[in-house]
A and B are shown apart, each in its own frame.
Chain A
Amino acid sequence: MNTLAWWLIRAQFRTRRTATLLSMLAIALGVALGYAIHLINDAALADFGRAMKTVQGDPDAVVGARDSAGGVPVATINAIASDPAVLVVAPVIETRVRVNSVRTPVRLIGLDVFSAAAVMPWLLPRQDDRSTTGGILDGDVYASPSLLAKLGLQAGATVTLARGDREWLTKIAGDLPATGPDDLLLVADIAWVQERFGPNEAVGEGRVRLAPEVDLATWRTALQARLPPGLLVRAAEDDRTRVSNLSRAYRVNLNVLALVALLTGAFLVFATQLTAIAQRSTQFALLGVLGLSPRMRLLQVLLEGLAIGIPGAVVGLGLGYALAFAFTQILGGDLGGGYFSGSTPSIVPQPAPLLGFLALGCVASLAGALYPAYLNRVQPLAQALKTGFAQSRAAFSARSRWLLAALLALAAFVLAQMPPLFELPLAGYAAIALVLMIGVSSAPLFTRALFGWLAKRRLPAAQQIAIQNVAQAPLMAQVAASGLIISFALTASMVIMVASFRVAVDHWLDHVLPAPLYLRGKATPLPQELLDALAGTQTPFARIERSAQETLVIDPQRPSVALLVRELERDNPAARLPFTGPVVAPPADMPVVWISEPMHEIYRIAPGQTLRLPLRGHDVEVFVGGVWRDYSRQFGAVAIGRDDFVRLGGRFAPSELALWPLPGQERLASDWLAPWTDRYGLELADSLEIRQLSLSIFDKSFAVTYALEAAAMLIGLFGLAVTLAASVWLRARELATLGALGFDRRMLGRAVMVEGALIALVGLLIGLACGVAIGGILTHVINPQAFHWRMALTIPWPAVIAGALLTLAAAIVASRYAARQATRLPVARVLASAD
């Protein structure tokens, strides 16, 4: 039996080379895209984690302040160090400075070289003949090799470090040999850093290594109970989880899109195998008559599917690796989500994911071959031997199909209402799959209804033949249309979702960029000298609004929340914040905050409730006055008025300014600011520039999505071409008879092209309806649950219809392949042949 199976597989590859290769290519494409995305994300995460480990070291726990402006008192560090369960505590202060007036600040890490050796050995300077320890205690600074290369410096160079309007002269005494190629770091003694940058009597973090026999969870719980509310002890694992959670939804979303490409690859295998079964039905019937068992007739088709899937998947793995390598070399480790920008990770394939994607490719091809295999198994042998492929009467009546479609639609609606599972929109993805199923299963209903009606009209002969054929052969029409339904539905839905998002972002930018000019320090506060100058009367500005930003840890397993300190009117915050609902007036004696939409969704806090914020070492209760839309901070933000912030003990150190020049003095305003931006490495941009940059980042973030959709569309068109060509082959005698009756080759070709165009039209219409439904799910379910972004649905009808017309034109071109076959039929030979 293996011999026969092998003969049949080889024969299939020999006689249906084009269709088989196209199917293999489709599987390869799907596997390649999925594998490439996995490799890039995996490498970027690993790179990110490695960079984190280089800087953070390998502690058992980290003690830090819950707000970024706070610190851990030295007394607390000393108390922890005296705990018998603790082997060592490595105190750390981290800040950002500019080096030699270069605009982009770099990280400056202050550490205690003795304790760092046990916890963060990768941050230690190179050990040479000179006394490195003595050097670092004298105020020497050490730079990572990549930073030295970037600045064009060498060990021994004198540099100027600047932060705000203060500067310090120091020497780069050596490098940090164990840091990575993307680590732009400076390391100095903690006391030296504390004296110049603060905080006083405190450090940024204490990184703790426990004795081996100590239970980490128990120790953490006991310590947290003793610590004041402003401090948090977290496990190193929490940091890794947080890093992973940062990009989890984005990675899952990309993987789902890659699976879509694989799904359309599976569809092409389905189309190829179904047409192969139809074309070879007489041969399989003969083998059944000669004694090939029903089980073997089913297995043979599955084996042929696997014979497409295995080489396709292997090619896909190689292609995926090449894509991942090329991507990372050109674009770095970021696929548009912005989580890993700046890194160029190394792609290292691991055996388990490799085998996983190989299996996925095989599963996709087996899934595509399943229904054709079933059809082959149940074909009535005697009838198939006599008349060829018999499109058996539909298993379900039209009424049952409508009922099934209605039930599926109801199920999809219910799934779309469900909350996220494991913080992912899994029910939403399932709803999308159901909508696609509804589209595909309703194709024969629409085909019969539409073309059955058209068939009763008086039409030219070529059109009449095409319409009759489509009306009478629903299975082949369904197969041809299904690929287009799936691919166009997904493409249209993405166009709708992206358009909705873009319109929403555009409107949002209108609200959050009210000023013509914006000035900010890059991760450093604005120089006081500039702030004093702006406070004077001789400036070309009608109005200036200042803001500052810190971070707060509310849940140690979640990314930090941004705290935005703004000069807002307590009773009119809507003048500056784009609220999504009513603003609730706070009690007179309570500080009020306004939370972003993601914060509202993640932490389930509503207007009118109170919230405890870790500020300046205390847990402060604040009133939540409203929810505002924020598309730039996915994990939440809290806006607070400057007055309330100062009243709570905060120090208002503005890092950003919104500037309104006096009328007619816009040019003068930019010129006035130029010396400050040059001297302090500040960023100045007008709102138009910021808007354009924001939108281009937005567009770039969907570049990978567009590539996946283009692949899906191509595969859908392949499927149409393959199925139509097979349909011509199946109807060779019918078409030859028409040729003998007087139809010339042009008319035959036109009939086939009209048939292709009509099938494509049905596919596009159903695909459009599904696309609108899926676009709604993406906009109202997937985006909010995965990324906490909400927006109104906007359907860009001109773009969608233009896309449909383009696809229809492409489908007509694809039909030409089948039409050419029809015109090349040797009429006499076909009519004379017995098969």
Chain B
Amino acid sequence: MLAVADLAKRYADVGRPLFSGIDFAVAAGEIVALVGESGIGKSTLLNCIAGLETADCGSVHIGPHALDMVRLDEAARAALRARNIGFVFQAFHVLPTLTVAQNIIVPLLLARVPSGEHATRTQALLERVGLAGFADRWPASLSGGELQRVAIARALVHRPALILADEPTGNLDPRTASDVLSLLLERVREQRAGALIVTHSQHVAQCCDRVLTLTANGLA
């Protein structure tokens, strides 16, 4: 689902390399953890894979058609993300002005999934993440754990090939974090998506199929 080859990025203002020679792959159904010291470039690597920042060289192939994210223009990257990638963030990033159901439907709209499927998919996922009956609730009335469940449902609703998660349990208490992590891993495996999870947590890393460590010398 994801193949990264010889990816490199420099700091824009000083020209010093942030990372270089990054090679790895994530297969369908595989969950990979990305760990490393603070400031080493994990989030930047994730952004480059997602096409939110432009790598200086290398390639990033995503999805069944294996398009190279690095070579695409901004509009094509957005289209690729809409169809093939789901995101889960540390800060949840649930749109406060839309209901829970509307938040989950947004990726379906962006991926141009026929509107006839919206209600059924949304309802099914709400049940899968334990939020049945929450469809018309506003995000302001939800707890942190519930918000992250909404984010997980949103990340999976359009059946992407790849899930990118940046510290998905970073803002949660240990118990909630454990529940949310289990939920995320179960759902990803259920859909046979690949997942790359950036984390500082040893526990999260241990729950994944494989751990990659980003260092100043590259990926280990």
A15 and B97 contact, CB distance less than 8 A: yes
Please name all residues of chain B whose beta carbon is closer than 8 Å to the beta carbon of A292 when the two chains form the complex.
78, 82, 110
The 0/1 profile, CB within 8 Å of B marked 1, for residues 638-659 of chain A is 0000000000000000000000
Cβ-neighbour of B75 out of A7, A12, A290, A294 (below 8 A): A294
User: Contact string, B60-82, partner A, CB cutoff 8 A, digits 1/0?
Assistant: 00000000000000110011111
Given contacts A7-B102, A382-B53, contact A291 B81 (CB under 8 A): yes
| Residues 260-300 of chain A, each 1 if its beta carbon lies under 8 Å from chain B, else 0 | 00000000000000000000001100111111111100000
Q: Which of B97, B102, B106, B115 contacts A290 (CB 8 A)?
A: B106
Q: Which of A283, A291, A295 is close to B110, meaning CB atoms less than 8 Å apart?
A: A291
CA A282 – CA B110 in complex, angstroms? 18
Q: With CB as the reference atom, state the residue of chain B lying closest to A1.
A: B109
A residues lining the B interface (CB < 8 Å): 1, 3-4, 7-8, 11-12, 14-15, 282-283, 286-295, 381-382, 385, 834-835
Q: Are B107 and A382 in contact (CB under 8 A)?
A: no
With A294-B78, A834-B171 known to touch, is A289 a contact of B98 (CB < 8 Å)? no
Q: In the complex, what's the smallest C-beta–C-beta distance from B16 to chain A, in angstroms?
A: 19
Q: List 10 A-B contacts (CB under 8 A).
A: A3-B109, A14-B97, A15-B97, A283-B96, A286-B93, A291-B110, A293-B78, A381-B52, A382-B53, A385-B93
Q: Contacts A4-B106, A382-B47 known; A291 to B111 CB distance under 8 Å?
A: yes
Write out the residue numbers on chain A whose beta carbons fall within 8 Å of the beta carbon of B90: 834
Q: Are B93 and A282 in contact (CB under 8 A)?
A: yes
Please measure, in the bound complex, the distance between the C-alpha atom of A835 and the C-alpha atom of B90, giving whole angstroms.
11
**CB atoms of A289 and B87 under 8 A apart:** yes
Q: Among the interface residues B81, B90, B93, which one has the most CB atoms of the partner chain A within 10 A? A: B93
Q: Is the interface of B mostly helix, strand, loop or mixed?
A: helix
B214 within 8 A of A: no
Is there an interface contact between B91 and A835, defined as CB atoms closer than 8 Å? yes
Number of chain B residues close to chain A: CB under 8 A: 33
- A834, B75: Cβ atoms under 8 Å? no
| Cβ contact within 8 Å between A289 and B50 | yes
Task: Give the nearest-CB partner of A385 in chain B.
Answer: B93
Q: Top 6 A-B pairs ranked by shortest CB distance?
A: A291-B82, A11-B97, A291-B110, A834-B91, A382-B52, A293-B78
List residues of chain B with CB under 8 Å of any chain A CB. Answer: 43, 47, 50, 52-53, 74-75, 78-83, 85, 87, 89-93, 95-98, 102, 106-107, 109-111, 115, 154, 171
Query: Residue on A with the closest CB to B97?
Result: A11
Residue of A whose beta carbon sits closest to that of B85: A291
Tell me the bound Cα distance from A12 to B98 in angstroms. Answer: 11
- A289 CB contacts on chain B under 8 angstroms: 50, 52, 81, 87
Q: Which residues does chain B contribute within 8 Å of A282, judged by CB atoms?
A: 93
Contact flag A834-B92 (CB < 8 Å), given A1-B109, A294-B78: yes
CB distance from A297 to the nearest CB of B (A): 9
Q: Are B95 and A283 in contact (CB under 8 A)?
A: yes
CA distance A15 to B98 in the complex (A): 11
Residues in A with CB closer than 8 Å to B83 are 291
Point out the residues of chain A lying under 8 angstroms from B82, CB to CB: 290-292
Residues of A within 8 A of B78 (CB): 288, 291-294
Q: Which residue of A lies closest to B170 (CB)?
A: A834
CA distance A354 to B81 in the complex (A): 45
Contacts of A1 in B (CB 8 A): 109
Q: Which chain B residues lie closer than 8 Å to A381 at the CB level? A: 52
Closest Cβ of chain B to A387, distance in Å, is 11
Contacts of B50 in A (CB 8 A): 289
Give the docked Cα–Cα distance between A282 and B97 (Å).
Answer: 12
Distance A217 CA – B74 CA, assembled complex (angstroms): 64
Question: Which of these, A287, A385, A834, A835, contacts B106 with CB under 8 Å?
Answer: A287
B47 partner residues in chain A, CB cutoff 8 A:
382
- Which residue on chain A has the smallest CB distance to residue B147? A834
Residue of B nearest to A5 (CB): B109
Sample of 5 more A-B contacts, CB < 8 Å, known A4-B109, A14-B97, A834-B90: A1-B109, A7-B98, A282-B93, A381-B52, A835-B96
Q: In whole angstroms, how far apart are the Cα atoms of A796 and B50 in the complex?
A: 62
